[in-house]
Amino acid sequence: GKNNYQFYTAQLTSNAIQKMEIETDLRRAVSESLEEFIVFYQPQIELDSGKIAGAEALVRWQISPERRIPPDHFIPAAENTGLIIPLGKQILRQSCLDFLCWHQKGLGLSRISVNVSMIQLLRSPFLEDVLQVLAETKMPAHCLELEVTESALMKENEQVASVLKQLQDLGIQIAIDDFGTGYSSLGRLQNLPIDRLKIDRSFMPKNAQSISDQALITSVISLANNLNLEVIAEGVETEYQAELLTKNHCQLAQGYLYSPPIPSHEFVKWVEQYNQ
Ligand code: C2E
Ligand code: CA
Ligand code: CA
Ligand code: CA
């Protein structure tokens, strides 16, 4: 009816305005100094040994002391505007610097995982950017893992496949993020340069009663293992889930069961306590 129509236009307009506002603000924050973007870290645990293998870098936008915007709310705008290119490079730089600082403190992690957007892979001279950051920070390539979403990889793009191959040849590890949500064909999986599959959190069975969910996740793990890929499960929140994963030979786990993403200085304390 008439009222509904008015409601929708008002809603649409306010969404469009919101989108414009966020883009304008992003442009400001990126051009100013990028200092409002902070990187949080979440540990990745080796299930058989219990050791901390690494951490995933997850960006937050601290727009003011009281206002922190989660990545889901601004990464899409950063991608639409191309601002993800300078922002992504800064996140990579900060992640390498923090990792090296942890290394100096004797934390002994194997690697840091950084999320990479499809836009970065397609539009920036991504390989050059990565090489430049590694050289500038003196970060060893084998300590860096890049997480690329499955949906990005499924766009059968030769350029992307070739960039990933060159990164891997440098010693950088490649993980497929959100695996299971993008309908990859097995043939394609085998032809891509991949070290690790990261199973999407929607595949994590809630409890022992969800039998069909269990079948799903255990078959994804054995599929990956048969392709000689390591598996990391994300969104691990309970002991039950960790045990199910361990029993089924999943190598790595990440989730609130261990720790939420936290700032670098807290992460150092967390690791030191965990190792005690
Ligand atoms: P993602 O890469 O799939 O990251 C995992 C998300 O799950 C993170 O949300 C993390 O905080 C959350 N999480 C971790 N453990 C648990 C758990 O046990 N339970 C539940 N329910 N959630 C858990 P976050 O940090 O809000 O990031 C959301 C998404 O934003 C990321 O999804 C990623 O796609 C994107 N993102 C974050 N940082 C970056 C970045 O630096 N660059 C790019 N391109 N994208 C990023
Ligand atoms: Ca990720
Ligand atoms: Ca994910
Ligand atoms: Ca996700």
Q: What tens digit of pLDDT does each residue of 29-70 get?
A: 999 889 999 999 999 999 999 999 999 999 999 999 999 999
Give the number of the atom of ligand 1 that is nearest the alpha carbon of residue 114.
41
pLDDT at 4: 57
> Ligand 1 site: residues with CB under 6 angstroms?
42, 57-59, 70-72, 75, 88, 91, 115, 117, 177-178, 201, 234-237, 255-256, 261
| Residues 6+ positions from 37 with CB-CB distance below 8 Å | 29, 59, 60, 61, 62, 87, 90, 91
DSSP codes, 132-171: HHHHHHT--GGGEEEEEEHHHHTS--HHHHHHHHHHHHTT
Residue 62's H or E segment, with its range, is strand 52-64
* Nearest-CA residue for atom 4 of ligand 1: 58
| Residues 6+ positions from 50 with CB-CB distance below 8 Å | none
Ligand 1 centroid to residue 181 C-alpha, Å: 15
Q: What SS3 class is residue 176?
A: strand
User: Does the pLDDT at position 72 exceed 80?
Assistant: yes
Q: Of 6-10, 173-177, 223-227, give the range with the top mean pLDDT.
A: 173-177
Task: Name the burial class of residue 154, with classes exposed (0-12), middle (13-18) and buried (19+) by CB atoms within 10 angstroms of its CB.
Answer: middle
CA 157 to the chain's CA centroid: 21
- Cβ 98 vs Cβ 107: under 8 Å: no
User: Does the pLDDT at position 149 exceed 70?
Assistant: yes
CA 247 to the chain's CA centroid: 25
Ligand 1 centroid to residue 237 C-alpha, Å: 14
Q: What tens digit of pLDDT does each residue of 10-29 get?
A: 666 778 888 888 999 999 99
- Cβ 198 vs Cβ 234: under 8 Å: yes
The stretch 203-231 carries a mean pLDDT of 88
* Nearest-CA residue for atom 10 of ligand 1: 261
Region of residue 257 (left: phi > 0; alpha: psi -120 to 50; beta: else): alpha
Q: Inter-axis angle of helices 84-104 and 264-275, to 10 degrees?
A: 40
* Nearest-CA residue for atom 27 of ligand 1: 71
Q: In the numeric block, which tokens belong to residue 19?
A: 């989108």
- Cβ 196 vs Cβ 172: under 8 Å: no
Q: What tens digit of pLDDT does each residue of 160-196 get?
A: 888 999 999 999 999 999 888 776 666 777 778 899 9
Ligand 1 centroid to residue 136 C-alpha, Å: 27
Share of the chain above pLDDT 90, in %: 71
pLDDT at 123: 82
CA distance 230 to 129: 27
Using CA atoms of 197, 46, 235, 269 in order, give the dihedral in degrees to the nearest 10: -130
CA distance 28 to 32: 6
Ligand 3 centroid to residue 158 C-alpha, Å: 23
| The model's pTM | 0.94
Ligand 3 centroid to residue 214 C-alpha, Å: 19
Q: What is the predicted ipTM?
A: 0.97
